[in-house]
Chains A and B, each alone.
Chain A
Amino acid sequence: MKQLTVVSGKGGTGKTSLVASFAALSEDTVFADCDVDAADLHLILKPEIVKEEEFKALKTAELDESRCVRCGLCIENCRFDAIHEFKINPLTCEGCGVCEYICPQKAITMSEKV
Chain B
Amino acid sequence: MIISIASGKGGTGKTTLAVNLALSDPGFKLLDCDVEEPNCHIFLDPEELGRREVTVKVPKIDDSLCDYCGRCADFCQYNALAVSQDVVMKFPELCHSCGGCALVCPKDAITEQENRVGEVVHARKGELKISYGVLDTGQAMASPVIRQLKGEVKGDTLIDAPPGTSCATIEAVKDSDFCLLVTEPTPFGLYDLKLAVKMLETIGLDHAVVVNRDGIGDNKVQRYCEKKDIPILLRLPYDPQIARLYSEGIPFTQHLHEYRSILKNLLEDVRRR
Chain A residues proximal to chain B, CB less than 8 Å: 9-13, 16, 37-38, 40, 43, 58-59, 77, 79-80, 91, 94-98, 101-102
Pairs across A and B, CB under 8 Å, 13 listed: A12-B10, A12-B11, A37-B163, A38-B8, A38-B163, A38-B191, A40-B191, A40-B192, A43-B191, A79-B98, A97-B75, A101-B75, A101-B104
Complex Cα distance A16/B8, Å? 14
> In the complex, A91 Cα to B9 Cα: how many Å?
21
Interface residues of B (CB under 8 A from A): 8-12, 36-37, 39, 75, 77-78, 96-100, 103-104, 163-166, 169-170, 174, 187-188, 191-192, 195, 202-203
Question: Which 10 residue pairs of A and B lie closest in terms of their CB atoms, listed nearest first?
Answer: A12-B11, A11-B10, A37-B164, A96-B98, A38-B192, A11-B11, A98-B100, A12-B10, A38-B8, A11-B163
Please tell me if the beta carbons of B100 and A101 are within 8 angstroms of each other in the complex: yes
Chain B contact residues: over half helix, strand or loop, or mixed?
Answer: loop
Partner among B9, B75, B96, B104 whose Cβ is within 8 Å of the Cβ of A38: B9
Q: A37-B164, A58-B77, A101-B75 are in contact. Are A96 and B100 (CB under 8 A)?
A: yes
Task: Report B-chain residues with C-beta under 8 Å of the C-beta of A11.
Answer: 9-12, 37, 163
Closest Cβ–Cβ distance, residue B101 to chain A (whole Å): 10
CA distance A40 to B163 in the complex (A): 14
Residues of A within 8 A of B191 (CB): 38, 40, 43
B13 to A: closest C-beta gap in Å: 8
Contact partner, B11, options A10, A79, A96, Cβ 8 Å: A10
| A91, B170: Cβ atoms closer than 8 Å | yes
B96: A residues at CB distance < 8 A: 79, 94, 96
CB-based contact B104/A77 at 8 Å: no
User: Pick the contact of B188 from A16, A80, A95, A101 — CB < 8 Å?
Assistant: A16
B202, A91: Cβ atoms under 8 Å?
yes
Q: Are A77 and B103 in contact (CB under 8 A)?
A: yes
Which listed residue (A59, A91, A95) contacts B203, Cβ 8 A?
A91
State how many angstroms separate the Cβ of B70 from the closest Cβ of chain A: 16
What separation, in Å, do the CA atoms of A12 and B163 have in the docked complex? 10
